Chain A
């Protein structure tokens, strides 16, 4: 089934540890995004990529980094996790930066 795959689905992590959330899409979409979703807040953009080889900062980029080596993969790395990064993380893609977004199933991350 075509779509976006995120891994892991859920993870508990000690503060200070490094963590990479994986995201792969098979729709050949140009644009990809990482959002975090916290209770009572709207989805907040962490980083985005309009096309392979380029990335940009979103609304809340601090403490996170991304790479876009190819069209399909867009990993999100937390270099040194902190408790405030406890959240549900969604990866999304769209055909262009004007199209609708398709979301992965989310990665629930708890930092203790």
Chain B
């Protein structure tokens, strides 16, 4: 069946590094997305991985291992504005997106 697992909540300290994991089991694979969603706002695109490896974009990096059904989002030099939910989504073989429930990241000073 289809399943995407992410931790429900994580806490980290301002200035530190945090890794948010996502594991998935889906019917086919056509890419994995990470979105950021601040409370009461719309999700916004962060990254897209379709091949194995690390994609770096400023303070944010995303990693994918298709053989393990695993991805992570790495946030460096955490800022208070990074407090948000982070959503993992997998595009299946039929091009539909399956979404995880999201990881709420709390940043403490």
Contacts and interface: CB of A to CB of B under 8 A. Distances in A.
A42 B85 CA distance: 11
Given A101-B45, A103-B42, A106-B42, A41 B101 contact: yes
Interface residues of B, number: 22
A105 B43 CA distance: 9
B44 interface: yes
Query: Which applies to chain A's interface (DSSP): helix, strand, loop or mixed?
Result: loop
A87 interface: no
Interface stretch (B10-18, B53-61, B64-72, B90-98): B90-98
19 contacts: A42-B98, A42-B100, A42-B101, A42-B102, A43-B89, A45-B96, A45-B97, A58-B96, A90-B43, A98-B30, A100-B45, A101-B35, A101-B43, A101-B97, A102-B45, A103-B44, A105-B41, A106-B41, A106-B42
